[in-house]
Structures are given as structure tokens and as C-alpha cells.
Structure 1
Amino acid sequence: MIVAGAFVVAGASGSDSGPQALGSGGIETRPVTETPSPTPTPTATATPDAEDTQQRPFCSQDVKDAIQSDDAEAVVRAAGGGDEFREGVLSGRADRCIALNHPAWDWVVVNKQRPIEPLDYEPELTAPQTYSPIGAQLDPAAADALDALTTAASEAGVGDIGLESGYRSYAAQVEAYESQVASRGSTEEADLTSARPGYSEHQLGLAIDIVACDGTVCGSMYDFGGTPQGEWVSENAWRHGWIVRYEAHATETTGYEAEPWHLRYVGVEIATAYKNGGYDTYEDFWGLDAAAEYTD
């Protein structure tokens, strides 16, 4: 798979996992002004204003300052919004300061072709106010965004939403995946519904499995798509920074069956560009190849 650019600042696991720590596995910190090793980038997407857009510098001082703040939404806004941010990545203009593979940023892409780097990455976590039967935790920005989503759904009169699953460690994903292999009878079948350890968005703290609830009595996530809550989320999740990650009829790209209950936090700016662009997969949004199969 193609990796777009490299960070001027990036992070590792544990307490040094913020975007300010460079690389993974203890690589030394580099100054913002250092040029990273060149890496392949996706082909630029042609737009009516592409030529003019590509003349403008992407890694401006405003973008660099936003990167130093560790605020992903601020970075995207400093770049001009979701559409401009995407175009900068696709065109290669963002190579000196932005990458799609760093797990501490909301826009990171993780799929069957792009494992989490490092595999033992652990995000900062907090508990959302949204009801969770198992006490699930999330990345702080994602936790706030989930609370905003569930509050909006309740105010819209569609009912309560609960958090069935949030952050899962690498070790927890080992158990989850092995359980699916056992219940489905093969790795091929398990791969349609469960990520292998190190390839799960849940390990980022940026993915959720949600369920329809009546107070603290909740249904199955497998029934979520046919509920009023599920229909409302499908239409409105983007307003709060979420996308439905595995849409129906997208298995050939994502490698997963439809999961209307599985949402991925990407931030309001990028989610808005995703919605307005009519995208069905996060891979297509970033101009990446299909990731239906693992490489091994």
C-alpha cells in the first residue's frame, strides 16, 4: 500500500505516543525543520483548481503550529479544511508534515494492508459519558464526539445509543479474533468481520461499536442498522466527526461485511469532506488501493 508522506512530528507507544514523539519504537526526536526520508505518495486527483492549489505551500507555519498543538482538527483547519487537507495529501504537497500512518492522529488509515505502527501502540484514553455496558474507553476527542452524537440522537427523538465496544488493546484483539475464528470455523470467515491483532481500528481508540438502547437496556449491535437510531446515525454521524467505516456493497474494498454499528472518528472537517464527496470507503477518500486481503 502507498503511504502518504511523513510527519515532521510523530509518536510511539505508551506515554510517548503523542504526535510530538518522532517515529515508532523509540526513534529519536527530529526538529520540525528536518526533511524526512522520501516515501511514495498517491497520485494527485485532478480538480478544476488543482493547478492553482498545488502552487500553494501546504506545510505553512500555521499548519506546523497546529501540529505542535497535537490538535488534529486544528491541523486540518489550518490546511484549509477537509477538502484542502485531502488534496494536499493526494498531491504530495503535504509530504513534509503529514502522513496517513501515524496512530495518534484522527485521520490515520488502518486496514488489512496498513497495520498499526507500532503494533503495541496504546492511545491516551478516557471514559465517555455515553452509557457503555462494559465501561469502554476512547481517545478523548472521540469520547467527546460520541457524547455529542448520542446527545443529538436523543434530542432528535430517535432513542438512546450505547457504546458496546471502544478501545481494545492488542492483547484484547488477539482474544476477539481467535473467538471469531472459533465460532466461524476458519480465518477466511473471521476476516470478514474481525480484524487481526495489530490491524484493528479499535486499538486506536477511534472506533466504536454502538447499539440501540432504551435506557440501560440495549439490543444487539447486529440489529443496529434496522433501528431508528441506526438510520439516524447513517445520515448524521458525519456532523459529529464520525463515518460509517464498513458500508454495504464495499466489501471488495474494505474486506469486511457491512457493519452499520462500526463508526470511525476522523474529525468533523474530514467527515464533512467525506460526506460531501459521496465516498463509501475511507480507502477511496484517500485515493488508496483496495484492502480486502492481508498481505500474509
Structure 2
Amino acid sequence: MSFAPQPQHAAPRSPIRGPALPFGLAVTAVGILLSLAGAPIADAGRDELAMPQPLVVQDVPAVEVGATTAADPCSEPSVIEAITAADDDAIIAGFGGAESFRAAVIAGNAPCVALADPAHVWVVVNKARPLAPIDFAPGSLADIPLQMTTSSGQARADVASAAGEMADAAAAEGAGRIGANNGYRSYDLQVATHASHVRSSGQAHADASSARAGHSEHQTGLAIDLVACDSRCGAIESFGATAQGEWIAANAWEYGFIVRYEQVGSGITGYKPEPWHLRYLGRDLAAAYHHGGYHTLEEFFGLPAAPDYAH
């Protein structure tokens, strides 16, 4: 599948300069222009030449230059400060917003942003991009404030908080109760999870429905599998057809989540559609993803398709 070329930001044009006039002719020309404009001409007999005041052009709007026009947006003071504070939202804001951030990353103009770094919300992990280190674990985890159907009930603190807010909004809008099947899974747990799929369905089916350890978004702490909980919680496989699933598909982006594996992107991700699998990007990037009409993170960040493992 080919990717549409991403728009590039053109560099500001330098003003066109003609051949330089000798100083004497230049002064004479300035004097003629000022005379025609009604401005006084300096007395030629004075020891020092009175230089004319610069002409002021009215009604020309100022041009605001964003961080992404710099040779290295990562050298912007606001970005440096945000990196020091490990504040992903502030880093994105320092680039001029999510779309400018995305464009800078795609253009190779953001050396301080590594899409392979699992400590950040913009990490991309797939069948061709394993976690580094392979047994990565988030620095801190919090309980997901939803009814759980497995013991994997934690996620990164920002993810857990956003999931709770999202579930409350869905209930308030009449979509029903949302629970979760699981959140963070360690490397070792992912080894066991994938192996169980292989035993029950074979390697090919397992690789289309479960990530191998070290390649799982659940291992980052940024992913949650949802279930619909009315009188009781259903299975994840039935989530997409529920009122909760429909609400999530339309509204999850407002809370910083995307549906990571859609039918339209299966050829890129190598996974069957999973309307229950949400991936946290933060509100700014999720909004840019939604409004841009993207269906995979690979497209969003201009990365190659990754439908298969290298080995």
C-alpha cells in the first residue's frame, strides 16, 4: 500500500536583490525619492550626511514564524524546557501543535523525537518495530478505574485517568457502561498470551490477533482493551457491535485515544480489526489523527507498512 506524500513546509524566500549602486548614486536616488515625497533633503554643506528615515509600509500583516521553520525545532527554548520536564504535551506545543509536530517528525526535522522511545505517547510499536529494550516496562502504573474482566487492570497513570473520564462521558450520554478486559501486560505475560493463541489457533492466526512479546502495545502501558458492561460485561469480540463500541468509535479521540486496529488498515498493521483495542496518544495527537482521517499510526507518521514479522 502506498502512502500519499506529506505536505512540506517551504523555506522562507530571501528578498530579491538587484546590483548595488555606487554610494554617491544611491544617495542621489534617495534624495530624489524623498523630494518627490515631500521630505526635506539634507544640506549638502553639512559635515555629516543626514540619513533619511525608513519608509513605513502600512497594512502589511506580520508573519508569525513557527518552531518547525527552524533548522532544528528541538533547539527552541520551550521544547528544551519541556524535554527536561518530560512533558509530552508541552513538547508537542513547543513544536507549534500536533500537526506541526507530525510534519517535523516526517521531515526528519525533529532529532529530539524518537518514535521508538516507549517512554513517550508517540511511540510506534508494530511487527517491524520492537520495543527497545525488548522487555520494556513503564516507569509507573495506576489502576484503571473501570470494571475489569482480567487481572491486568493497570495502565500508565495518564492513560488510566483518561479512560475513566471517557467511560464517565459515555455513561452520561446514554451509551452504557464501559469496562476493560486488560491494560498493561508485561513482557513475560505477553509471552504466555501469544503462546496460548498459537496453541489454540496456530502461528498464522495468532500473529494476526495477538502481538508477540516485545511487539505489543499493551507492554507500553498505553493500550486498553474495552468491553461493554450492562447487566454484565461481555467479551471483547462483541464490543464493536454494542452501543458502547459505536460511541467509542466516534468519540474516543476527544479523550486522547484512537482505535488502533481498523479493518481499513489491516494490510498495514497485519492485525485483524479490533474495535476494542484503544491506543492512547494524548488529546493533541489524537485530535490531529482524527481530523486528518488517518486509520493507522504508520500512515500518521509516514512509516512503512508492517504486516509481517521479519523472522
CA distance in 1, matches of 2:230, 2:86: 37
1:288 is matched with which residue?
Answer: 303
Quickly say closer, same or farther: Cα 1:179–1:62, change in 2 above 3 A.
same
2:143 is matched with which residue?
Answer: 127
The Cα of 1:51 is off from its aligned counterpart by 3.5
Check if 1:191 corresponds to 2:151.
no
CA distance in 2, matches of 1:174, 1:45: 37
Q: Is the 8 A contact 1:83 1:273 kept in 2?
A: yes
The Cα of 1:45 is off from its aligned counterpart by 2.4
Post-superposition Cα deviations, 1:111-131, rounded to whole Å, max 9, x if no partner, equal: 000000001111011102222
Q: Is the 8 A contact 1:43 1:91 kept in 2?
A: no
Check if 1:51 corresponds to 2:11.
yes
CA distance in 1, matches of 2:185, 2:289: 26
Q: Is the 8 A contact 1:43 1:90 kept in 2?
A: no
CA distance in 2, matches of 1:79, 1:118: 27
The Cα of 1:134 is off from its aligned counterpart by 2.8
Q: Choose the corresponding residue for 1:182, options 170, 175, 199.
A: 199
2:78 is matched with which residue?
Answer: 62
Q: Is the 8 A contact 1:44 1:91 kept in 2?
A: no
Post-superposition Cα deviations, 1:135-180, rounded to whole Å, max 9, x if no partner, equal: 4100111111111111111111100000111000000001100110
1:219 is matched with which residue?
Answer: 234
1:14 is matched with which residue?
Answer: none
Give the alignment's TM-score, normalised by structure 1.
Answer: 0.81
Secondary structure of 1:256 counterpart: coil
2:29 is matched with which residue?
Answer: none
% identity of equivalent residues: 45
The Cα of 1:250 is off from its aligned counterpart by 1.5
CA distance in 2, matches of 1:145, 1:188: 34
The Cα of 1:43 is off from its aligned counterpart by 11
Runs of 4+ aligned structure 1 residues displaced above 4 Å come to: none
Let me know the Cα RMSD of the aligned residues: 1.7
The Cα of 1:64 is off from its aligned counterpart by 1.3
1:276 is matched with which residue?
Answer: 291
1:209 is matched with which residue?
Answer: 225
1:36 is matched with which residue?
Answer: none
Q: Choose the corresponding residue for 2:113, options 75, 88, 98.
A: 98
Q: Choose the corresponding residue for 2:96, options 77, 80, 84.
A: 80
Quickly say closer, same or farther: Cα 1:201–1:108, change in 2 above 3 A.
same
| More displaced 10-residue stretch of structure 1: 114-123 or 125-134 | 125-134
CA distance in 2, matches of 1:158, 1:182: 37
Quickly say closer, same or farther: Cα 1:257–1:43, change in 2 above 3 A.
closer
Number of positions where the alignment pairs a residue of Structure 1 with one of Structure 2: 251
Q: Which amino acid aligns with 1:264?
A: R
Check if 1:114 corresponds to 2:129.
yes
CA distance in 2, matches of 1:125, 1:44: 38
Q: Which amino acid aligns with 2:99?
A: D
CA distance in 2, matches of 1:201, 1:294: 15
Secondary structure of 1:262 counterpart: strand
Q: Which amino acid aligns with 1:55?
A: T
Check if 1:138 corresponds to 2:155.
yes
Greater Rg, structure 1 or structure 2? Answer: 2
CA distance in 2, matches of 1:192, 1:157: 34
Q: Which amino acid aligns with 1:278?
A: G
Unaligned runs of 5+ in 2: 13-65
1:26 is matched with which residue?
Answer: none
Post-superposition Cα deviations, 1:230-287, rounded to whole Å, max 9, x if no partner, equal: 0010010000000000001321100000000000001100000000100011100000
Quickly say closer, same or farther: Cα 1:287–1:131, change in 2 above 3 A.
same
Q: Is the 8 A contact 1:112 1:294 kept in 2?
A: yes
